[in-house]
Amino acid sequence: MAGTPLRVGFIGLGLMGLPMSLNVLRAGFPLTVWNRTASKARAALDSGAQAGRSPADVASRSDVVITMVSDSPDVEEVVLGREGVLEGARPGCTLVDMSTIAPKVTRSLAQRLAERGVELLDAPVSGGTLGAQNGTLSIMVGGKPQVLERCRPVLQAMGQRITYCGPNGMGQVAKLANQIIAAGTLAAVCEGLVFAATAGADLNAVHQAVSGGAASSWQLEHLGRRILNGDFAPGFMVKLMAKDLRLVAEAAEELGVSQLVTPAVRQLFRTAEQLGYGEEGTQAAVKVLESLAKKEARAG
Amino acid sequence: MAGTPLRVGFIGLGLMGLPMSLNVLRAGFPLTVWNRTASKARAALDSGAQAGRSPADVASRSDVVITMVSDSPDVEEVVLGREGVLEGARPGCTLVDMSTIAPKVTRSLAQRLAERGVELLDAPVSGGTLGAQNGTLSIMVGGKPQVLERCRPVLQAMGQRITYCGPNGMGQVAKLANQIIAAGTLAAVCEGLVFAATAGADLNAVHQAVSGGAASSWQLEHLGRRILNGDFAPGFMVKLMAKDLRLVAEAAEELGVSQLVTPAVRQLFRTAEQLGYGEEGTQAAVKVLESLAKKEARAG
């Protein structure tokens, strides 16, 4: 195999997966793809990827299989289900799961795969669709260090910052910590802006005043600006943040971690989803707070 | 008066006020100072400031009087109390209150001062003791634009970013929005790190992994790093953040703003103060969450 590029499989060609798979192709790796909705694979096939008939078929033709799907049950289905990765993967193959799922599901998958001689890396990402397109994702990796080294050239095609976080599950733990921080920061930005707006402040002045110091953040700079512009297009969708914060709540419960703030943050994003903003960008959480402020003011 | 530098008075020479007053002196303004605890004025007097006998005395000798004290009652005392600024200030004098206080107290003060021909600017700051020392504070200004222009040279001696936010009270509103965002961001950082630590993650790896993207912030970069180093020295004290979040809660109540996340953030800082961390840096909030995680783990 020395000198031959790794044959890569890619399963899950959604908003994130498709541009990631195109970056793998561009880096010169032979690629086989599969997607539940076959039509979404078109752009990858047009760019030179081969069509797999099933996850098992993709796995049988690949040294490294990447999965990029929505949630724990989706990963379990494409890996353990009928015609799943496990049916097709030969010993020595590596599964790189880049989805954000429960750390305990990752650990259980790793065990099932190990019984068949298949290695697992959990390698969830942050950076959104823009990072996926530009190949600048931050990739948080759990698994064996030597397996990461073998797969690193493939990961480098998709991401800029690749951090080894520990054994299987620790990539997911780092990703959930990332979501706790990102969602909480955004919630604070939304609540600060709604407070200032309700008090009658000029939001552009407030945004400028608070951007220079201890309140500054990626969320304030990028999504705070979008809020001022009334731009709710998704960089990352409300419904996916609500799902990630559900994974956080479940993991915190299992770990016995009491959280004071994150449950309120989760409630904010759940409410945003329930109010119909699920497919908007996470900054749409501000609409929940605005509607509360208005209702209170009307009642007061 | 043309060509003569403004005569400045400074009341409140604490951790913030003293370095700010020294920057005013360095910029060449004749300065008279007063502090409740007289000994704390020593460094300013040694650098060439005059000693005022009372706030009234300071005001009688100044064109611009700056107050930098802890809370609404402190400002009311040095301005409206016996031998307060109002007793000494001549018409045409300007009071620049750089304390963080309730917006409604600011508006009521402005009215009282206007009856005596004295202008008010509310001009709270962010940037901490380091910003005060380096003259790089962010200053959020409420009041009349022409009064800000008259006082701008004095403010420029203390701050880098001077933002006009609207009529009296709007500087305070911007500052409270700043605190909502800064405190909420820090709470999210603390909760993310405690989650990862309890799950057994390598916190240095997690900090590196999450610092590159949507979770990044001043709080994560600066205070997250201090948490990893076990450094709880105050840039900004827990007890002052708890006080600022009380001002937020009171103002939100009056405005009829329902907040979902900030009340939990306030509870975190109140608890940190109650547990004896009031004079430590705000990053000591992480200790509250750590102790909760430990208790739960023990009970579980």
| Position B247 pLDDT exceeds 90 | yes
For chain B, give the percent of residues with pLDDT over 90. 92
- Overall average pLDDT of the B35-59 stretch: 96
Per-residue pLDDT band at B4 (split at 50, 70, 90): confident
> Counting beta carbons within 10 angstroms of the beta carbon of residue A6, is it exposed (0 to 12), middle (13 to 18) or buried (19 or more)?
middle
CA distance A139 to A170: 12
Nearest to B281 by CA among B229, B209, B208: B229
pLDDT of A64-83, one tens digit each? 999 999 999 999 999 999 99
Q: Helix or strand or coil: residue A26?
A: helix
Q: Is the ipTM of this complex over 0.90?
A: yes
Nearest to A95 by CA among A161, A178, A171: A171
Nearest CA in chain A to B297: A256
For chain A, give the percent of residues with pLDDT over 70. 97
Nearest CA in chain A to B292: A258
Domain ranges of chain B: 8-167, 173-293
| Position B2 pLDDT exceeds 70 | no
Question: What is the model's pTM?
Answer: 0.94
CB contact under 8 A, B296 and A257: yes
Look up the CATH number of domain B8-167.
Answer: 3.40.50.720
pLDDT given at position B300: 43
Structural contact between residues A123 and A139, judged by C-beta atoms closer than 8 angstroms: yes
DSSP for A52-114, please give it: PSSHHHHHHT-SEEEE--SSHHHHHHHHHSTT-HHHHPPTT-EEEE-S---HHHHHHHHHHHH
User: Which residues in A lie closer than 8 A to residue B262 (C-beta atoms)?
Assistant: 188, 191, 195
pLDDT given at position A212: 82
Length of chain A as a residue count: 300
Q: What is the pLDDT along chain A (300 residues), one digit of tens a residue?
A: 456 889 999 999 999 999 999 999 999 999 999 999 999 999 999 999 999 999 999 999 999 999 999 999 999 999 999 999 999 999 999 999 999 999 999 999 999 999 999 999 999 999 888 899 999 999 999 999 999 999 999 999 999 999 999 999 999 999 999 999 999 999 999 999 999 999 999 999 999 999 988 999 999 999 999 999 999 999 899 999 999 999 999 999 999 998 999 999 999 999 999 999 999 999 999 999 999 876 555 554
Distance to chain A for B76, nearest Cα, Å: 22
List C-alpha distances in Å: B115 to B90, B119, B150.
12, 10, 20
pLDDT given at position B128: 87
- Which residues of B are known to be catalytic? 175
Give the residue carrying structure tokens 């599964």: A95
- Which residues of A are known to be catalytic? 175
The backbone torsions φ and ψ at residue B163, rounded to the nearest 5 degrees and listed phi first, read: -115, 125
pLDDT of B100-117, one tens digit each? 999 999 999 999 999 999
CB contact under 8 A, B217 and A212: no
Which of residues 89 through 118 in chain A touch B, CB cutoff 8 A?
Answer: 103
User: Which residues in B lie closer than 8 A to residue A267 (C-beta atoms)?
Assistant: 260
B191 touches chain A (CB under 8 A): yes
Which of residues 132 through 151 in chain A touch B, CB cutoff 8 A?
Answer: 138, 140
CA distance B245 to B269: 9
CB contact under 8 A, A140 and B209: yes
pLDDT given at position B96: 98
CA distance B193 to A184: 13
Which of residues 52 through 91 in chain B touch A, CB cutoff 8 A?
Answer: none
A:B CB pairs within 8 Å: 316
DSSP for B237-280, please give it: BHHHHHHHHHHHHHHHHHHT---SSHHHHHHHHHHHIIIIITTS
Q: What residues have CB less than 8 Å from B202, skipping those under 6 apart?
A: A165, A166, A170
The percent helix, strand, coil of chain A (3-state, each to 5) is 55, 15, 30
pLDDT given at position A300: 43
Per-residue pLDDT band at B1 (split at 50, 70, 90): very low
Helices (H) and strands (E) in chain A, counts: 15, 9
Nearest CA in chain A to B204: A165
HSE, CB side, 13 Å, CA atoms: give it for residue A110. 22
B130 touches chain A (CB under 8 A): no
CA distance B282 to B112: 35
Nearest CA in chain B to A202: B165
Distance to chain B for A73, nearest Cα, Å: 22
User: Which residues in A lie closer than 8 A to residue B259 (C-beta atoms)?
Assistant: 191, 195, 289
Identify each DSSP E strand in A3-60 by its residue range: 8-11, 31-34, 50-51
Interface test with B, best of A258, A287, A290 (most B CBs within 10 A): A258
- Overall average pLDDT of the B267-275 stretch: 98
Distance to chain B for A276, nearest Cα, Å: 19
| Position B191 pLDDT exceeds 50 | yes
A233 touches chain B (CB under 8 A): no
CB contact under 8 A, A260 and B292: yes
B178 touches chain A (CB under 8 A): yes
B43 touches chain A (CB under 8 A): no
Q: Strand pairing partners for A97? A: A67, A122
Structural contact between residues A155 and A139, judged by C-beta atoms closer than 8 angstroms: yes
Pick the CATH number of A173-293 from 3.30.1370.100, 3.40.50.150, 1.10.1040.10, 3.40.120.10: 1.10.1040.10
For B297, the closest of A210, A219, A256 (CB atoms) is A256
A50 touches chain B (CB under 8 A): no
Give the torsion sign (CA, B40, B41, B42, B47): positive
CB contact under 8 A, B191 and A180: yes
CA dihedral A27, A31, A33, A39 (to 10 degrees): 70
Distance to chain B for A56, nearest Cα, Å: 32
pLDDT of A162-215, one tens digit each? 999 999 999 999 999 999 999 999 999 999 999 999 999 999 999 999 998 899
| Position B249 pLDDT exceeds 60 | yes
pLDDT given at position B292: 85
Structural contact between residues B55 and B85, judged by C-beta atoms closer than 8 angstroms: yes
Residue B278 structure tokens: 């009031």
